[in-house]
Structure 1
Amino acid sequence: MTHLKRLDLRTLIVLVAALFAAGAASVLFIQPAASHGTSIAQPSRHYSCWERWGSDFQNPAMEQEDPMCWAAWQNDPNAMWNWNGLYREQVGGDHQGAVPDNQLCSGGQTGGTRYAPLDDPGAWKTTKVDANFTFTNWDQANHGADYYRIYVTKQGYDAQTDALDWADLELVKETGDIDPGVGRPPASGGGTLVDIPVSAPGRTGHHVVYMIWQASHFDQSFYSCSDVWFGEGQPAEETTPPTEPTDDPTSEDPTDEPTVPAGYACTATAAVNSWGSGATVTVKVANTGTQAIHNWMLHWEWPSGVTLGNIWNAEHSTMGTMEMAEPVDWNKAIPVGGSVEFGLNVSGSLASAPEFACLPS
């Protein structure tokens, strides 16, 4: 299935929903929860921080035990909370043009400075790998892929002192097209785990695995840095990933389930009150999971001719053609079974709500 066919199918679904709702001045349009993803084995820097500290972020021990994660947390907690949202739009395949040297891990500081500390070299926690290992990406919303490109730093690169440049990397794997849903289901959280076999011989010590995931639903490019350790001498406090069996250090079993955060889920419901040349949209964000939500993000695209006028009880930003809303201080946390609301006014004809993607953390 080509990228164009996927977009046509998605457009058709949205069009049918709009036609079904046409003619109503006030429409209740319920959207499914969705999100993005990142590398979880070997874990990306931001996902790895979330694994260790997401449920223990107030622990003062983070500063001493995990200073790189602590620095990222101090800079912006959303580097952790939104571990599944590190992507750029409209790159058009020119990754080196969009992502400059020394900013590879943050995707060229996508989202401003939110992910900037991920670019800093230093004592990032590593997971042990062999020359042949399985790289796993969690495609939470079944975006599919036009391709994955997996790079590993060249022997001689110093991850402790050298911010990552393109020249530091060797491309070791490129996949072809991967249709949405092709892979294996995670133990919880929805979506698909995509396993990619990688061979990177001739390396020892601390290295960085760099991923480019070109999603196929939009021109969205996801980036991640994963810290790994080849060979002997891994620091004592580091642990092997869940995908590596303990009885045979020379091989890996991709059927062993990586650890994923369980119980986080949210949906967005929108009531649209249209007056023809504009509309008021009231959005409810509900916790539909089994764990309390600490933070959330919605993103969507307006139909042609619709523009945002003003928004209340949320912070608005854009990334390319994508609209994004994040909570204000009082409505970040949502208990299990709870919900929060925000509103916005738009100009232009809006008969029904766009498709919201809800990102809980």
Structure 2
Amino acid sequence: MTTIPRPPRLLRRVLAVAAAVLLIVTFTPASPASAHGSIVDPASRNYGCWARWGSDFQNPNMATLDPMCYQAWQWNTTAMWNWNGLYREGVAGNHQGAIPDGQLCSAGHTGDGRYNSMDAIGDWKAAPVSNSFSVKLWDQAMHGADYIRVYVTRQGFNPLTQALGWGNLELVNQIGNTPAAQWTPESAGGVSIRIPATASGRTGRHIVYTIWQASHSDQSYYFCSDVLFGGGTTTPTSAAPTTRAPVTTAAPTTRAPVTTAGPTTRAPVTTAGPTTRAPATTGGGSAGCTATYTVSSQWNGGFVGSVNVTAGSAAIRGWRVTWTYANGQAVTNSWSATITQSGSSVTATNAAYNGSLSAGGTTQFGFNATWTGSNSVPALTCTATA
């Protein structure tokens, strides 16, 4: 009989460890799904930016076609891939205590500031809806809900010029505990539910704000959806969520890195309170105006700026704001104003829809720009047309 020699002691130990690892890999249960969910109709800011640009996020045309999404992708690319993770833990139902005014769309700068760009004031893509509408929540991980609350901004709120605060919202509907088993299965995975709502008396631009208290630990999700109310009572419908596989981690390794974005470790956007302001000057006479310059967010090589224009003691029909950069900054694109630049001199004139302001009325325009070395705040001159 042939005797098979025993392997050396070291080899026996290596084989034993390998067998144990194989056993663990083979029999360890699958980990819980890391995906979560979002409002997909009318699309939340984070979901909408991913749905429109996730397969083409390096397209430079985004800067002019969808500038608010552009600044969001520039601020933190990972937040866009993780569009379904905008939540906080341990709020215990005290939403207003956990999230300050001006930070509602980022869930109070959750995720170490990853989603701060959601708070940026400006011309986000708005979905047309009727006064009787519904919001569709896509729950990828099938958490279900302890409750879902739907709010709409009050008539008179202007998302183009105002930061969202709790006092701007009105609760229009809510539902209680609904297990995921009662929701509608989605072909793209997970389940969805629609919550009907009625926002009578609303016209024009508004924000629909949804709080989803998931039946999973103490996770509270917060979503801002930009809408345009046109009246009527027909409930809009939308296509099912995109069938692209949702990404729940940082950008895939097979994608080229975003070459224009700043590092993800940069300081959070301080959209609740402007980071810097320039002293405003006014045109002569009672039909004057003042302008205030703000750096909304900044990263290596680029920044998002905004300017608030306020009419004086009399109504105005138009305005023009000028400033001179001292450090070679260059405006690359703008919204809610026409901006021209010659050397260091910049001129911004009103758009067709925001030139007329009542006495004391205000509006805002924004822009993306580049900088190197320094990004000092310029002094502004505002001239009004009576």
Aligning the two structures, in what range does the TM-score lie when normalised by the shorter sequence?
0.5 to 0.7
Deviations 1:92-135 (A, max 9, x none): 00000001100000000001221111111110000000000111
Counterpart of 1:185 in structure 2 is 185
Q: Tell me, yes or no, if structure 1 residue 230 matches structure 2 residue 229.
A: yes
Counterpart of 1:212 in structure 2 is 211
Counterpart of 1:142 in structure 2 is 142
Find the aligned partners of 1:148 and 1:67 in 2 and give their Cα distance: 30
Deviations 1:116-157 (A, max 9, x none): 111111100000000001110001111011000100000000
Task: State the TM-score, normalized to the length of structure 2.
Answer: 0.57
Find the aligned partners of 1:136 and 1:111 in 2 and give their Cα distance: 24
Contact 2:130 2:236 in 1 (8 A): no
5+ long unaligned stretches in structure 1: 1-23, 233-248, 268-284, 296-314, 316-361
User: 1:91 Cα deviation (Å)?
Assistant: 0.3
Find the aligned partners of 1:54 and 1:231 in 2 and give their Cα distance: 29
Deviations 1:301-339 (A, max 9, x none): xxxxxxxxxxxxxx9xxxxxxxxxxxxxxxxxxxxxxxx
Task: State the TM-score, normalized to the length of structure 1.
Answer: 0.60
Q: Helix, strand or coil: the match of 1:31?
A: coil
Find the aligned partners of 1:266 and 1:149 in 2 and give their Cα distance: 25
Contact 1:146 1:214 in 2 (8 A): yes
Contact 1:105 1:119 in 2 (8 A): yes
Counterpart of 1:166 in structure 2 is 166
Counterpart of 2:234 in structure 1 is 251
Q: Please list, as runs of the form range in 1=range in 2, the aligned pairs for 1:88-127 lying within 5 A after superposition.
A: 88-127=88-127
Look up the equivalent residue of 1:225 and give its one-letter code. C
Aligned mate of 1:262, from 224, 237, 244: 244
Q: Helix, strand or coil: the match of 1:181?
A: helix
Find the aligned partners of 1:184 and 1:294 in 2 and give their Cα distance: 36
Structure with higher RCO (Cα < 8 A, 6+ apart): 1
Find the aligned partners of 1:294 and 1:37 in 2 and give their Cα distance: 26
Q: Using a 3 Å threshold, how does the CA distance of structure 1 residues 171 and 294 change in structure 2: closer, same or farther?
A: farther
Count of matched residue positions in the alignment of Structure 1 and Structure 2: 234
Counterpart of 2:52 in structure 1 is 52
- Taking only aligned residues, the RMSD between alpha carbons, in angstroms, comes to 2.6
Find the aligned partners of 1:220 and 1:294 in 2 and give their Cα distance: 33
Look up the equivalent residue of 1:252 and give its one-letter code. T
Find the aligned partners of 1:74 and 1:266 in 2 and give their Cα distance: 19
Q: Using a 3 Å threshold, how does the CA distance of structure 1 residues 95 and 182 change in structure 2: closer, same or farther?
A: same
Contact 1:41 1:258 in 2 (8 A): no
Look up the equivalent residue of 2:151 and give its one-letter code. Y
User: 1:266 Cα deviation (Å)?
Assistant: 8.1
Find the aligned partners of 2:144 and 2:155 in 1 and give their Cα distance: 32
User: 1:38 Cα deviation (Å)?
Assistant: 0.5
Find the aligned partners of 2:236 and 2:167 in 1 and give their Cα distance: 32
Find the aligned partners of 2:248 and 2:166 in 1 and give their Cα distance: 37
Q: Using a 3 Å threshold, how does the CA distance of structure 1 residues 222 and 199 change in structure 2: closer, same or farther?
A: same
Look up the equivalent residue of 1:259 and give its one-letter code. P
Counterpart of 1:69 in structure 2 is 69
Contact 1:46 1:118 in 2 (8 A): yes
Find the aligned partners of 1:294 and 1:91 in 2 and give their Cα distance: 37
Look up the equivalent residue of 2:204 and give its one-letter code. G
Q: Helix, strand or coil: the match of 1:96?
A: helix
Q: Helix, strand or coil: the match of 1:221?
A: strand
Contact 1:133 1:198 in 2 (8 A): yes
User: 1:212 Cα deviation (Å)?
Assistant: 0.5
User: 1:31 Cα deviation (Å)?
Assistant: 1.6
User: 1:257 Cα deviation (Å)?
Assistant: 3.4
5+ long unaligned stretches in structure 2: 1-18, 258-264, 266-386
User: 1:30 Cα deviation (Å)?
Assistant: 4.4
User: 1:265 Cα deviation (Å)?
Assistant: 6.8
Counterpart of 2:43 in structure 1 is 43
Contact 1:68 1:124 in 2 (8 A): yes
Q: Tell me, yes or no, if structure 1 residue 131 matches structure 2 residue 131.
A: yes
Q: Helix, strand or coil: the match of 1:162?
A: coil
User: 1:258 Cα deviation (Å)?
Assistant: 2.8
Find the aligned partners of 2:209 and 2:158 in 1 and give their Cα distance: 15
